[in-house]
Amino acid sequence: MSLPNPAPIVRLIEAFRWSKTMFVAASFGIFDLLPATVADLASRLRVNADALERLLDGNVSLGLLERHGDTFHNLPVADAYLRNSSPDSLAGYILYSDRALYPMWGHLEDAVREGSHRWQQTFGSPGPIFDHFFRTEEAMRSFIMGMHGFGLITSPAVVRAFDLSGFRTIVDLGGATGHLTIAACELYPRMRGIVFDLDRVIPVAREITAQSAAAGRIECVAGDFFTADLPEGDLYAMGRILHDWSRPKIDLLLRRISDRLPEGGGLLLAERLLAEDRTGPLGAAMQSINMLICTEGKERTRSEYTELLLTAGFRDVRTAETGQPLDAILAIK
> What positions carry a catalytic annotation?
243
Residues 238, 161, 168: CA angle, nearest 5 degrees: 65
Residues for the chain: how many in total?
333
Three-class SS of 60-71: HHCCCEEEECCE
Q: How far apart are the first and last CA of the chain?
A: 59
Identify residue 282 by its one-letter amino acid code.
L
Q: Are 97 and 21 in contact (CB under 8 A)?
A: no
Separation of alpha carbons 147 and 208, rounded Å? 13
Q: Are 132 and 179 in contact (CB under 8 A)?
A: no
Please give the distance of CA 241 from its chain centroid, rounded to a whole number.
Answer: 10
Backbone dihedral angles phi then psi of residue 34, each to the nearest 5 degrees: -90, 150
Nearest to 26 by CA among 139, 144, 18, 267: 18
Which strands, in side-by-side order, build the sheet including 36-37? 36-37, 71-74, 65-68
Interacting residues of 176 by C-beta distance below 8 A, sequence separation 6+: 144, 147, 148, 151, 195, 197, 201, 204, 205
Distances (CA, A) of 50 to 41, 47, 56, 214: 11, 9, 10, 49
Q: Are 66 and 72 in contact (CB under 8 A)?
A: yes
Nearest to 264 by CA among 306, 229, 235, 225: 235
What is the DSSP code (8-state) at residue 228? S
